[in-house]
Amino acid sequence: MFNYLYRKTSLLLFISFGITAFAFSLYYLFPGDLLTNMTGITNITEENYQFLADKYKINESIITQYLAFLERLYQGDWGVSINTGDSIYQLIFNLLPATIELALYALIYSFIVAIPFGVLSASESHPWLDKGILSLSLIGFSMPIFWLALIITFIFSISLGWFPTSGRLSLVYDIPPETGFILIDILISDVPYKAEAFSDALEHLAIPTFVLAAYPTTVLIRSTRQSMKSVMQKSYIKAARAKGLSTWQVLKRHGLRNGLLPVIQTLGIHFGTLITLAMVTEVIFAWPGLGALLVDAIHQRDFTTIQGGLLVISALVFLATILFDVLYMIFDPLARIRGHGKI
């Protein structure tokens, strides 16, 4: 077990090197002045230039520059945005919780919806249910997310008026940002309109979460169905049935654990796609997150922000992948011995 964790951590080391080396190379790959790309300051004066050149070590070898870059990353000195002049570190880590919040809730939602549906459609006694769920999931799978978002907004926000169209919280409520996670912030704040603010935040969350969850839900339904179907045919399930366990007991003790193992892996694989879709969702619903920031930065050629955003998002995806792998290992004793040479 510790051997496995050690292997995963050493993998983390190599991948962090890859990510940081790529981010560092962007200084040279982006058009424009090298020092501007590094600092984010557009009009550098003569006396400032010398100071910054020393600080960023641009006259020394590439390796020294890279090491200095790592040191700055560690210290939180990520430069400033070319367009606004704000500190990128501050900017990104203020917005990151919003993105994580959206992706996490969508993931939880898709888990809650997809696993029962997947298990149901795998059961042999209801073939009609299987067909219904499968065709619904096919629709969800093939529908472009921005189109789905617009349709849902049109129906539930504009026609019916049940949910707000965009944003994270109504401007009426003023919640001091503590953690960045809006629901937690509301809960720990001591404002008199706590309950109202909380329900308002939930209303704002509803449509973006649903839209973002469409993709992972369908993927999860299909993979759950597939693996449950094969697991329920296994000899140990039949043996467990012959022992006299009820259908629910068989499912709980043997079926689900074995059936959901490949699902965890699928989820790890699709986490990158989920983050990409979260960016699109953020742009559509004016959700103040990292994705929206990154898309704006790309439009405005804000190179320093692009670099910082890429660094954080790729690190996020990678950490999530490792997390899912470790989860997989905890549940599957076979993964612990087969872990060699596997990412």
Of 157-186, binders to another protein (CB under 8 A) are none
How far is the C-alpha of 123 from the C-alpha of 224, rounded, in Å?
11
Find the shortest distance in angstroms from Cβ 169 to another protein. Answer: 43
Find the shortest distance in angstroms from Cβ 22 to another protein. Answer: 38
The answer to whether the Cα torsion of 241, 242, 246, 249 is positive or negative is negative
Q: Residue from 160, 235, 248, 299 that binds another protein (CB under 8 A)? A: 235
Task: Give the rounded distance of the alpha carbon of 295 from its chain centre.
Answer: 16
- Identify which range of 14-22, 94-102, 136-144, 235-243 contacts another protein by CB under 8 A: 235-243
Q: Residue from 242, 248, 299, 341 that binds another protein (CB under 8 A)? A: 242
> Does 131 sit near another protein (CB under 8 A)?
no
Which tokens is 164 given?
A: 């707000």
CB atoms within 10 A of CB 67: 14
> Strand, coil or helix: what is 245?
coil
Q: What are phi and psi of 158, to 5 degrees?
A: -90, -50
Measured from the CB atom, is 31 or 244 closer to another protein? 244
Residues 210, 108 contacting (CB under 8 angstroms): no
Find the shortest distance in angstroms from Cβ 313 to another protein. Answer: 33
Q: Residue from 144, 161, 176, 244 that binds another protein (CB under 8 A)? A: 244
Q: How many CA atoms lie within 13 A of 238 on its CB side?
A: 4
End-to-end CA distance of the chain: 16
How far is the C-alpha of 57 from the C-alpha of 41, rounded, in Å?
16
Measured from the CB atom, is 134 or 240 closer to another protein? 240
> Does 196 sit near another protein (CB under 8 A)?
no
Find the shortest distance in angstroms from Cβ 116 to another protein. Answer: 21
- Identify which range of 12-20, 22-30, 56-64, 237-245 contacts another protein by CB under 8 A: 237-245
Measured from the CB atom, is 196 or 332 closer to another protein? 332
> Does 72 sit near another protein (CB under 8 A)?
no
Q: DSSP letter at 51?
A: H
Q: How many CA atoms lie within 13 A of 2 on its CB side?
A: 0
> Does 125 sit near another protein (CB under 8 A)?
yes
Question: For the chain, how many residues are written?
Answer: 343
> Does 130 sit near another protein (CB under 8 A)?
no
> Strand, coil or helix: what is 87?
strand
> What is the total count of residues that contact another protein (CB under 8 A)?
25
Measured from the CB atom, is 253 or 342 closer to another protein? 253
Q: Residue from 15, 145, 187, 245 that binds another protein (CB under 8 A)? A: 245
The answer to whether the Cα torsion of 170, 173, 175, 181 is positive or negative is negative
Measured from the CB atom, is 172 or 337 closer to another protein? 337
Residues 241, 250 contacting (CB under 8 angstroms): yes
Q: What residue type is assigned to position 333 of the chain?
A: P
> Does 128 sit near another protein (CB under 8 A)?
no
Q: Residue from 254, 281, 290, 329 that binds another protein (CB under 8 A)? A: 254
Q: Residue from 126, 253, 301, 342 that binds another protein (CB under 8 A)? A: 253
- Identify which range of 42-50, 200-208, 250-258, 290-298 contacts another protein by CB under 8 A: 250-258
CB atoms within 10 A of CB 226: 17
> Strand, coil or helix: what is 331?
helix
Beta bridge partners of 80: 87
> Strand, coil or helix: what is 179?
coil
Q: Residue from 63, 160, 172, 334 that binds another protein (CB under 8 A)? A: 334
* Binding site residues, another protein, CB under 8 A: 124-125, 233-236, 238-245, 249, 253-254, 257-258, 261, 331-334, 337
